[in-house]
Amino acid sequence: MCAADPRVSGGQLRRALRGLVVAVVAPVLVLCACTPPHDPRPAPSPLTSYAEPWRPQFHYTPPDGRLADPNGLVFDAGEWHLFHQQGGTWAHAVSPDAVHWTTLPNALQHDDLGQALSGSAVVDGANTSGLFDGPDGGLVAIYTSTTGGEAQSLAYSSDAGRTWDRYGGNPVIPNDGRKDFRDPKVFWHEPTRRWVMAVSLGDEIGLFSSTDLLDWEELSRFGAGHGLHSAVWECPDLFPLRVDGDPDQVRWVLTVSVGASDATDGSTAQYFVGDFDGTTFVRDPAVPPETVQETDVGQDFYAAQSYEQAPDGRRVWIGWMGNWRYPYSAPTRPWTNAMSVPRDLGLRTVDGQVRLVQAPVPELGSLRGEPTRIGPRAIGPDTVLPFTGSTFELETEIETRGARRVSVRLLESRDAAERLVEAVEVGYDDGQLVMDRTRGGTTGFSVRRSVPYHPRGGVIRLHVLVDESSVEVFVDDGALTGTMVVFPKRDGRGMSLTAEGGDPRVRELTYWPLRSIWR
């Protein structure tokens, strides 16, 4: 990144050096830390064990409280910052590797302008905003305030996001009578030398620009006639990616989450691939406007946001594993909801169409225990696998060989007669990719999701991450991704394969237990 980039300054080097001393401390130290009496922000609960029923062991959860949308995702000075919605405030955690997290006190509380709803953060390293005392700049958070209608406001931090000041001229984009006007995602657009904001406007996305993060002008809008419009559009993101890794083939991706509706049995998310010239986003004209490209084909991946300035030119994002059909109904205490694992993003040409592809970040490999591998074997109606666990990673290739249905059953439990009682099922069913938790446990979460899927060369390739209360599936190297939360009533730790018809076989299967990030 060139020195002329306004996000970068010599001060970042000094912050990076300070960042080298930031380490993940043992949870007991974090949870017992006390907030000074004059600081009104709550400290993490000292009562959390991170061992409660259904508590994820390698996904981020807050010590307590209700987690929702990821906010302000930015990499700075060696730290991955994860802010997230929690009761209309910005809760905060940091990580050196996007895997092991330290929870910090809340960053943004309510103020005279109401709640601090979803938004983004940038490194204003050249102090384009003039909000910082010196030339080194700092972090700027752009979020939605609520008093007088949804509007866009700023806060800024000179100490690596540990403390924040509100901008005295908030809101920087007032509400002009709009009902839905929220979730600003801001990034620096180098060709036009200005900041760009994508923000939700009902069921469209508005694009705004600014040279200083304070004064904004509207550029254009996108959405009318494109994709799914069954509910409000929320939490937009806009970023460039190489197609098939080719640096000469760069396209822009606009992602939006779509609120709960009967049409999608809750909330969902979609993306558009096209071009952005600094003013207007134009979808690929080869894709019919009504085409809906889902970000995730499961039930529980919402409000995903990507990291600004992720290292090595990567585009990494995280989503809220939840759904507005049941946003805070999980039977968990003292926390509710979790984030997905961080995922690397790319664009790949699949069957002549450019698709968004996702993969778990390689840093998760640090959690792997010793692998166990099994070789070729036939799959019958109930083929029990020699693994048990509720926090693990699995990769497998399965040859369908004429089978009508073949799938993996996870987090399963059986009765005394070894009959299946509970399980989450992932696999192929007569031309469909299926994620089924109708026998997954807790009532109120029964759902079966399916999308068209034809295994390439008759081989199903699955990469699966299972935690205490979630299943994330990456199919054919991330060409399809599915996310489900699940709350087994019993001690579901078994695994099996099942099939109907044909002569399906496991080509290979590898299983890794995954260590907890909390202990």
What confidence tens digit (pLDDT) does each residue in 105-150 have?
Answer: 999 999 999 999 999 999 999 999 999 998 889 999 999 999 999 9
Q: How far apart are CA 474 and CA 439, in angstroms?
A: 21
Q: pLDDT-derived band of residue 13, with 50, 70 and 90 as boundaries?
A: very low
Instruction: Tell me how far apart the terminal alpha carbons of the chain are, to the nearest angstrom.
Output: 37
Per-residue confidence (pLDDT) for residue 7, from 0 to 100:
55
Is 429 labeled as catalytic in the residue annotation?
Answer: no
Is beta strand 302-306 parallel, antiparallel or unpaired with respect to 316-321? Answer: antiparallel
pLDDT digits (tens, 9 = 90+) for 434-486: 999 998 877 778 899 999 999 999 999 999 999 999 999 999 999 999 999 99
370 has a pLDDT exceeding 50: yes
Q: In residues, how long is the chain?
A: 519
Q: Is the CB of residue 460 less than 8 Å from the CB of residue 427?
A: yes
Say what percent of the chain tops pLDDT 70. 91
- pLDDT tens digits for range 318-368: 999 999 999 999 999 999 999 999 999 999 999 899 999 999 999 999 999
Active-site option among 5, 39, 64, 69: 69
What digits encode the pLDDT tens for the residues 379-401? 999 999 999 999 999 999 999 99
Whether the pLDDT of residue 414 is over 80: the answer is yes
Structural domains in the chain, sorted by start? 10-328+337-360 (2.115.10.20), 371-513 (2.60.120.560)
Higher pLDDT, 216 or 445: 216
In the chain, what is the greatest distance between 2 CA atoms, to the nearest angstrom? 72
Write the DSSP string, 61-99: --SSEE---EEEEEEETTEEEEEEESSSSEEEEEESSSS
Indicate the burial class of 426 (C-beta count within 10 angstroms; 0-12, 13-18, 19 or more): buried
For residue 10, which phi and psi values (nearest 5 degrees)?
-60, -25
Give the count of alpha carbons within 13 A of 441, CB side only: 23
Query: What is the pLDDT at residue 30?
Result: 32
Q: Beta partners for 424?
A: 410
pLDDT of residue 441: 79
At residue 362, the pLDDT reads: 98
Q: Which of 239, 311, 297 is nearest to 268 (CA)?
A: 297
Position 380: which residue type? Answer: G
Mean pLDDT for all residues in the chain = 91
Give me the DSSP letters along 95-145. Answer: ESSSSS-EEEEEEE--BTTB---SEEEEEETT-TT--SSSTT-EEEEEEEE
User: If pLDDT is split at 50, 70 and 90, which confidence band does 5 have?
Assistant: low
